[in-house]
Amino acid sequence: MPALFKWATNVQTRTDGRTAQPLSFCSLQAMTILRDIATWLGQADAARVPDTVITELATDSRKVQQPASALFFAISGERHDGHRFIPELYAMGVRAFVCEFPLSSGEGSGERSTARFPDAIFLQVPSPLTALQQVAAAHRAQFDYPVMGITGSNGKTIVKEWLHQLLSPELRIVRSPKSYNSQIGVPLSVWKMAEEHGMAIIEAGISKVGEMERLEPIIRPTIGILTNIGHAHDEGFRDLAEKTREKLNLFMRCSALIVCSDQQVVTDGLEKFPFEERPKIFTWGRIAGADLRITEVTKGNGQTTVKAQFDHRTVEVTIPFTDAASLENAMHCWAFMLLRGINDGVIAERMMRLTPVEMRLEMKQGINGCVLINDYYNSDLQSIAIALDFLAQQQQHPRRTVILSDILQSGREDGSLYREVADMLHQRQVDRLIGIGPHISSQADAFPKTSRFYPDIEAFLQDLGNIPFRDETILLKGARPFGFEAIGRRLEQKSHHTVLEIDLGAIVHNLNAIRTLLRPETKIMAMVKAAGYGSGSVEIAHALEFHRVDHLAVAYADEGIELHKAGISRPIMVMSPEEQSFDAMLRFQLEPEIYGRRTLDGLLRTISQHGHDGRVRIHIKLNTGMNRLGFGADELDSLLETLLSEPRLEVASIFSHLAASEDPNQDDFSRRQIALFDVMSTRLMDGLGRRIPRHICNSFGIIRFPEAQFDMVRLGIGLYGVAPDSPVTHLLRNVSTLRSSISQLHQLKSGDTVGYGRMEHVTAPMVTATIPIGYADGLNRKHGNRRGQVLVHGQRAPIIGNVCMDMVMVDVSGIPCHEGDEVVIFGEGYPITDFARNADTIPYEVLTGISGRVKRVYFQE
């Protein structure tokens, strides 16, 4: 066996009698010797590599948990280079690296000089990504317990999590964290396999031809589930048949495969697929010949009962869901349990206890200035680590509290389990733990003295008034049976039922999608003005900073000060500086836009009056045709004269603004602006004698004028999924969803009227719904009188009568609904562009117009 594994010890002993480097934590996890990894990677001098114990494979410098025992893979791409983060990681304590580029032993080579890292080990390979996959594949080869591979267009994560729920009573299962199913996520998931486990469940996702061939040797499944074939990632395949073939590559060498026989494209693909050795195909479906043939489906009272024929007998299960997707996912799980030979009664009992799989963490405003993060639907070490990483990203408050329940069905001894939890909390600099449950309470000695413990949630709620919560970030992380929703209701800031949901994951997705349009060297300035386009500047800025945007921009100084106080460290440009705010801008190191002689002179006066030390970074705005703000061409000589005579100023960038980048009819004008900007900015750089970063493109400009990227672009509305038609538009995701609920339903008859001014006259029986949102919340009055619509159970319902200050009425005739049902004002299924068009406005105005009394809820998948 090329690597030695030990568990629940602080010192690892090798088979040759020597002692490996001690670890500073106690953990039941796989541990491999660095020398063995070097051998797996074909390193010629592997014998000279030290026997350091490696417990963590890392690809993201921001998420390293155990630096002393981490191996970092410096993966490079079009817009990122992992080698850049070697100095940062070395300072954190990481000492083992897998690199693509040779590192010199001399001085002066930056992060590529080994002289800067005297006690680090560097393994050079042609591709760190391939090396990561090779290490994971070699690690996987050491285990002979069952490994399930799951792929398909939809449902992979749900099936994986439900199988864990169903099988964990008797099996210790390792599984992919959340949806770690990519070329990087799969190796990181497989690395978690250890001898303590009895089964692994790994999901795999692909977006183009050839990717699954790289994942199959890593997972090497013994049994597989193909959930379905749909249209996700269609752009990467010629047709569904090709997509099916590519996904089937995962099961090339497995012994059994579960599929739905109702999908013709799947059955056709199976007939033609060249398995190395054809597996046992276990089918379920409604058509004759399926191994598990559905004969009857009954829905009612929030449940679905399924009867089926299996092995010449009738079998039946009930699941606590009624939607078609849940039924499909449950059928895959049922099929596997039957294939495994589990008793029918046990299957039925466990299927009835399936719980929803929450795929997101929610962040809300809490009481007393707190930020509340809700993740109280499951609690295991993998999901705790993910939630703690999300907590660590939030810098709004220096103090962090975690409220944690018992970890259920871990299969671990309490002592070692909660010592590992304590270590995780310490690594993420959590200030206070509140433990709820008898098991975590019994291990109080493993946690700091500041911790509090309660036997159950009732005891905690009774004592809640005696626990101070103020100006801190609170993570609620509990297993579903503990009912942490009750804690969330007590700690959440009260507001009315209308909420604006912001998908932080979608913002990051859109950022990365637009990055694919940029040259690798082009920098990004992200616009977070107007409270992050109405979404919350602090929360959006934290997400953008974590994902390494280069600069941020706000409209006014107080917005920048708020970000600075919230812990944002990226440079912040202030686009509308006022002279009275210059002093504060200097104190908080904000960078003003200088657009005219008045702002320039005002800044210089402030510097003189307050005796500011050091150079002040400024951004010069040029007027190239929008005629709003900026220096004209005739003012450049005077501007240059001042800049050359003022050593106190440093020009950080030169920029301008496109007036009509979204309008193809104005493209000639836009190109004249770009050309003029090039001439004017070059004149400034020549006069100053140095190259200065330049930018003119906004979101639409990035997409429509790629030749005008210069050195940097300004990304605003594109972050929120709004963009002109282009090859990238369909890749963008919706970010903001405005939701409300039905307060009351009315049955109206002919002759009735609705609302102020009696503007809606009823001519036939009508059902109306009153919704608690009005123009005081930001709903434009132009949406009234059937111009605007909302979404009720997936159907558009017209807004009738005048929009009131706090309420609006809609016609829901023919739409089955009840009081309390959810209403989508705009968002998924009803794009904000459509919503804005109905009121003769633009998405910018809609988003920035949503009032502060509408609660913002942030979530991340």
Which residue in 840, 828, 825, 816 sits closest to 777, CA to CA? 825
C-beta separation of 251 from 149 below 8 A: yes
Contact 388, 431 (CB under 8 A): no
Decide if 802 contacts 784 (C-beta within 8 A): yes
The token pair at 373 is 């993060």
- Tokens of residue 669, six digits: 């004008």
Residue with tokens 């992060």: 111
What is the number of helices (H) and of strands (E) in the chain? 26, 40
Residue 713 near residue 525, CB atoms below 8 Å: yes
The whole-angstrom separation of Cα 777 and Cα 804 is 10
Amino acid at 802: N
Encode burial over 727-754: b for 16+ CB neighbours within 10 A, e otherwise: ebeebbebbbbbbbbbbeeeebeeebeb
Residue type, 371: V
Q: Is 180 part of the annotated catalytic residue set? A: no
> What is the biggest distance separating any 2 CA atoms in the chain, rounded to whole angstroms?
94
Rounded Cα distance, 409 and 429, in Å: 27
CA distance 191 to 136: 6
Strand bridging mode 371-375 / 292-300: unpaired
Task: Give the strand order in the sheet containing 70-73.
Answer: 56-58, 70-73, 96-99, 121-124
DSSP 41-73: TT-TTGGGS---EE-EEES-GGG-S-GGGEEEE
Cβ atoms of 149 and 336 within 8 Å: the answer is: no
Q: For the stretch 158-177, what's the b/e string if a residue is b when 16 or more beta carbons lie within 10 angstroms of its beta carbon?
A: bbbbbbbbbbbeebbbbbbb
Contact predicate 697/523, CB 8 Å: no
Q: How far apart are CA 34 and CA 49, in angstroms?
A: 7
Is 160 a catalytic site residue? Answer: no
Tokens for 327? 């039924």
Catalytic residue among 377, 529, 775, 858: 529
- Give, to the nearest 10 degrees, the angle between helix 324-340 and helix 344-352: 150
CB count in 10 Å sphere of residue 470: 11
| Active-site residue identified among 208, 272, 280, 756 | 756
| C-beta of residue 697 within 8 angstroms of C-beta of residue 658 | yes
d(CA 745, CA 818): 7
Radius of gyration over every alpha carbon of the chain, rounded to an integer in angstroms? 30
Angle ∠(135,163,130) on CA atoms, nearest 5: 15
855 contacts 499 by C-beta, under 8 angstroms = yes
What single string gives the DSSP state of each residue in 109-160? -GGGBGGG-TT-EEEE-S-HHHHHHHHHHHHHTT--S-EEEEESSS-HHHHH
Strands 551-554 and 736-741 turn out to be unpaired
CA distances, 565 to each of 49, 89, 589, 685, 693 (Å): 46, 26, 12, 34, 27
Tell me how many degrees the CA angle 387-161-320 measures, rounded to the nearest 5: 110
Two tokens, residue 449: 């003295």
Residue 618, beta-bridge partner list:
651
3-state class (DSSP) for residue 529:
helix
Three-state DSSP at 825 gives: strand
Which position has the token pair 């285990």?
A: 143
Residues recognised as catalytic:
529, 756
